[in-house]
């Protein structure tokens, strides 16, 4: 009989840990939280120092009973839930509900490897009460906001709405960016480029090979920085340059270094994975959870491949750094490893409770593990591995040349950057926002301005002008938020914490406040109305400084500097007044967005409203005028009245079922490819655009969960996705249609009989 019981969160994590602990330990999983505030009522006694009324989560009674039975005969109980506030809360609730305080120990496992587990088990801790109370304060705070503000929204905006403390600020960012775009007035400006080449000394002289034409841009004109505002000014400058010699003036050559990037933290992993892999934040965290908990590596069994993935620290252990440096020296060469390890500064606001996100075994190249990983796991592990290895490499070195060329009263400038030593870029290149928007890997050297060579030039060289190229441009509005840029904004403003980014982005979409179009967040009419009401009625909640300060105060609770009740009491005093004021004084909001379009029946303005089947145009004088119109959005989001009747035909893409051309159509979730013979042939495809070319997106193979068997036929379950999120389905489908629900963290949610008491 096992002398000790180890309780973790997930079954897969339990399997990996059990492999290393031996027969003296029994390992059981809680399957996430077991205890929480009730779902059907506030569950907080505000008048009694915010005392929470915890209950067993519906469907979790049998897990609790199983742990109770397993703990009876155990001499010691080790609570090894995730090493963060959520994990601390799970540990506290289990210890408290099962009354294990006389034999309980807290274990923080940052990496699920043999060395990591044994090291953690050898240094057990007490459950951190301050950390638990910090999480408890956050949970109660969010519950109070949700339960007090939501009924006001029902009265003032629409029934069934809900509000969240942190999600509301994220919604505000999305709405304000949209209005900034709508109010943006493009400004005209021009650029002037000169296509030049070296001029031979005589007609018979041949130019050297490196004397290909190069481009120089107008830098100054008549002693002032070039600023061409219209075509007339452009024509005047071109006219002034007529017949002028282009002569090389100054030449400046410098050696430039580009420093290596720190290892991933949660937010940077989410951002880069979105840009490079096109993973949603939710998907990134789900795949990372699997890599952390353990992957079957053949005869080795389950092995945790990365450290804990919810962290705000760039710190790495000495052993991991030493292993990475050894791998670099052996595989890249000694010149790629700096004399001393690279150390990165941790932000002042960081909790620094865990290491960075890194491979548990830096010497294990992704290609070595490829056959054991799914496509998604391989992509994410490769990203994490390359970033960590690159963080311990030398800087990239470039030779930069800058040439100023005079032509009359104008000065043109040409720059060239040639890589001298690749350094860390041999392992990793940082993703760009451009990659994400185009859905392609455009982080090439050419795009970054690297390896742009100039011919060998000398001062007073006379150049031949091949072409003057004036171009008209218009300033562009700021881009809408993508998942990665919204996470970056939240992190920079101190809104939320690493463990909350995924739920924040999911919530504003699930509630219908924003939707993603071409990978960017666009607020709905409902989202705009909710935002406007909250901005007027609850300015404190919507204030980013207040929300960031609240996160800081929660950190202070964890550090023992502030008592959680005092924190909640200080918040509630002002908050309750806002609720009363909003109920009594603030007018309701219509769920609509005004437009400049006039009603063709009564000349009143049309507005965008939310209907059963999505947004539509409606007369603002409704119900006196019941004129309504369908509409679509153009490339620049301009409103086009009427349904789109002429789908874009893709003659170069044939249906793989019937051979007919595919067409681009608009659906509920954006554009997709459809067979032109629909409805006779139903063959929809997802697609991306790469350099203006349409590329069909291949469906990812479902993730097989060998650790979870079908309860009906015994076959492995697989992770599948539907409109409502992810779930587990039997791999024997369609013969076996057994399914299991998953929550937002990937844990199984089992249905229980109505008679089961909770």
User: Which CATH fold would you assign to the domain 266-391?
Assistant: Topoisomerase I; domain 4 (1.10.290)
Please check whether residue 349 is in contact with residue 498, taking contact to mean a CB–CB distance below 8 angstroms. no
Residue 24: which of 69, 76, 81, 68 has the closest Cα? 76
User: What are the φ and ψ backbone dihedral angles of 322, each rounded to 5 degrees?
Assistant: -65, -40
Strands 703-709 and 693-696: unpaired
* Residue 239 burial by Cβ neighbours in a 10 Å radius (0-12, 13-18, 19+): exposed
Query: In which residue ranges of the chain is CATH 2.70.20.10 found?
Result: 188-259+396-474
Residue 298: which of 377, 385, 378, 369 has the closest Cα? 369
DSSP H or E run through 185: none
What is the sign of the dihedral through the CA atoms of 328, 334, 336 and 338? Answer: positive
Structure tokens at 587: 């007018």
Strands 725-730 and 739-742: antiparallel
CA pair distance 152, 171, nearest whole angstrom: 18
Residue 16: which of 318, 228, 297, 248 has the closest Cα? 297
Domain 188-259+396-474 is classified in which CATH homologous superfamily?
Topoisomerase I, domain 3 (2.70.20.10)
Please check whether residue 49 is in contact with residue 565, taking contact to mean a CB–CB distance below 8 angstroms. yes
Residue 392: which of 346, 343, 357, 333 has the closest Cα? 343
Token pair 């990475």 is at which residue? 324
Query: In which residue ranges of the chain is CATH 1.10.460.10 found?
Result: 137-184+480-584
- Per CATH, the number for 137-184+480-584 is 1.10.460.10
User: Which CATH fold would you assign to the domain 4-127?
Assistant: Rossmann fold (3.40.50)
Please check whether residue 748 is in contact with residue 728, taking contact to mean a CB–CB distance below 8 angstroms. yes
**Choice among 20, 63, 292, 308 that is catalytic:** 308
What is each CA distance from 648 to 437, 520, 640, 645, 692, in whole angstroms?
21, 22, 16, 10, 14
User: What are the tens digits of pLDDT across the range 584-604?
Assistant: 888 888 888 888 899 999 999
Q: Can you give the pLDDT at residue 744?
A: 61
Q: Can you give the pLDDT at residue 754?
A: 42
Please check whether residue 407 is in contact with residue 194, taking contact to mean a CB–CB distance below 8 angstroms. yes
CA pair distance 466, 448, nearest whole angstrom: 26
Q: Can you give the pLDDT at residue 697?
A: 76
Q: Can you give the pLDDT at residue 367?
A: 96
Three-state secondary structure call for residue 677 = coil
DSSP H or E run through 387: helix 375-391
Whether 308 is catalytic is yes
pTM of the entire predicted model: 0.76
What is each CA distance from 749 to 60, 315, 381, 434, in whole angstroms?
8, 35, 28, 39
Query: In which residue ranges of the chain is CATH 3.40.50.140 found?
Result: 4-127
Could you say which DSSP state residue 679 is in?
T
CA pair distance 278, 276, nearest whole angstrom: 6
DSSP H or E run through 370: none
For 261-293, give the secondary structure using H, E and C: CCCECHHHHHHHHHHHCCCCHHHHHHHHHHHHH
Q: How many CA atoms lie within 13 A of 386 on its CB side?
A: 21
Q: Which ranges of the chain have pLDDT less than 50? A: 201-202, 209-210, 435, 437-449, 752-758
Contacts of residue 271, Cβ cutoff 8 Å, sequence gap at least 6 = 431, 484, 485, 487, 488
CA pair distance 199, 29, nearest whole angstrom: 76
Query: In which residue ranges of the chain is CATH 1.10.290.10 found?
Result: 266-391
């Amino acid at each position: 009989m096992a002398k000790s019981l180890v309780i973790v969160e997930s079954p897969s994590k339990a399997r990996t840990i059990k492999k290393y602990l031996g027969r003296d330990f029994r390992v059981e999983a809680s399957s996430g939280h077991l205890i929480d505030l009730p779902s059907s009522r506030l569950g907080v006694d505000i008048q009694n120092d915010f005392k929470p009324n915890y209950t067993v989560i519906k469907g979790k009674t049998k897990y609790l009973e199983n742990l109770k039975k397993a703990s009876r005969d155990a001499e010691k109980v080790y609570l090894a839930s995730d090493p963060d506030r959520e994990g601390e809360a799970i540990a506290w609730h289990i210890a408290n509900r099962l009354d294990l305080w006389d034999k309980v120990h807290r274990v923080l496992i940052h990496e699920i490897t043999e060395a990591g587990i044994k090291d953690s088990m050898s240094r057990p801790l007490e459950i951190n009460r301050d950390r638990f109370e910090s999480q408890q304060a956050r949970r109660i705070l969010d519950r109070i906001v949700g339960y007090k503000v939501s009924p006001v929204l029902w009265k003032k905006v629409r029934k069934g709405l809900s509000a969240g403390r942190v999600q509301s600020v994220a919604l505000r960012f999305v709405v304000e960016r949209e209005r900034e775009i709508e109010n943006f007035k493009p400004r005209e400006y021009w650029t002037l480029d000169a296509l030049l080449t070296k001029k031979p000394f005589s007609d018979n002289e041949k130019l050297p090979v490196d004397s290909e034409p190069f481009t120089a841009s107008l830098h100054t004109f008549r002693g002032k920085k070039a600023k061409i505002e219209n075509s007339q000014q452009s024509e005047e400058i071109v006219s002034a340059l007529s017949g002028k010699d282009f002569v090389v003036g100054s030449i400046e050559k410098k050696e430039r270094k580009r420093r290596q990037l720190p290892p991933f933290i949660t937010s940077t992993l989410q951002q880069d994975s979105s840009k490079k892999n096109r993973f949603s934040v939710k998907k990134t965290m789900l795949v990372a959870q699997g890599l952390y908990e353990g992957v079957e590596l053949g005869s080795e069994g389950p092995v945790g491949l990365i450290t804990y993935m919810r962290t705000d620290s760039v710190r790495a252990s000495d052993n991991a750094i030493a292993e990475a440096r050894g791998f670099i020296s052996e595989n890249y060469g000694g010149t790629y490893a700096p004399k001393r390890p690279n150390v990165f500064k941790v932000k002042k606001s960081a909790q620094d409770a865990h290491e960075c996100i890194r491979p548990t075994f830096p010497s294990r190249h992704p290609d070595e593990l490829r056959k054991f990983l799914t496509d998604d796991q391989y992509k994410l592990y490769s990203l994490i591995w390359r970033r960590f290895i690159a963080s311990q490499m030398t800087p990239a070195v470039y030779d930069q040349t800058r040439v100023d060329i005079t032509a009359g009263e104008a000065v043109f400038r040409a720059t060239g950057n040639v890589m001298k030593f690749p350094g860390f870029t041999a392992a990793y290149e940082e993703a760009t926002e451009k990659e994400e928007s185009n859905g392609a890997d455009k982080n090439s050297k050419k795009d970054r301005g690297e390896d742009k060579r100039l011919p060998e030039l000398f001062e007073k060289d006379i150049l031949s002008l091949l072409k003057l190229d004036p171009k008209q441009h218009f300033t562009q509005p700021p881009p809408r938020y993508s998942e990665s840029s919204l996470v970056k904004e939240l992190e920079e403003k101190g809104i939320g914490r690493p463990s909350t980014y995924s739920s924040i982005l999911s919530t504003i979409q699930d509630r219908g406040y924003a939707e993603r179009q071409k990978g960017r967040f666009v607020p709905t009419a409902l989202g705009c109305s909710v935002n406007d009401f909250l901005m007027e009625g609850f300015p404190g909640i919507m204030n980013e400084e207040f929300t960031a300060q609240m996160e800081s105060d929660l950190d202070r609770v964890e550090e023992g500097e502030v008592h959680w009740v005092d924190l909640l009491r200080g918040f509630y005093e002002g908050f309750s007044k806002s609720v009363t004021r909003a109920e009594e004084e603030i007018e309701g909001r219509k769920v609509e967005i005004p437009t400049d379009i006039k009603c063709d029946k009564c000349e009143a303005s049309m507005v965008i409203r939310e209907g059963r089947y999505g947004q539509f145009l409606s007369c603002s004088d409704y119900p006196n005028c019941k004129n309504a119109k369908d509409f679509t959005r153009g490339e620049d989001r301009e409103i086009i009245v009427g349904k789109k009747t002429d789908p874009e035909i893709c003659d170069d893409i044939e249906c793989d079922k019937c051979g007919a051309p595919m067409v681009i159509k608009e659906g509920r979730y954006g554009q997709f490819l459809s067979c032109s013979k629909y409805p006779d042939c139903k063959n929809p495809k997802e697609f991306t655009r790469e350099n203006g070319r349409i590329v069909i997106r291949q469906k990812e193979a479902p993730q097989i969960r060998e650790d979870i068997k079908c309860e009906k036929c015994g076959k492995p379950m697989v992770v599948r996705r539907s409109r409502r999120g992810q779930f587990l389905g039997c791999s024997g489908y369609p013969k076996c249609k057994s399914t299991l629900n998953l929550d937002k963290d990937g844990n199984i949610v089992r249905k229980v009989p109505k008679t089961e008491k909770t």
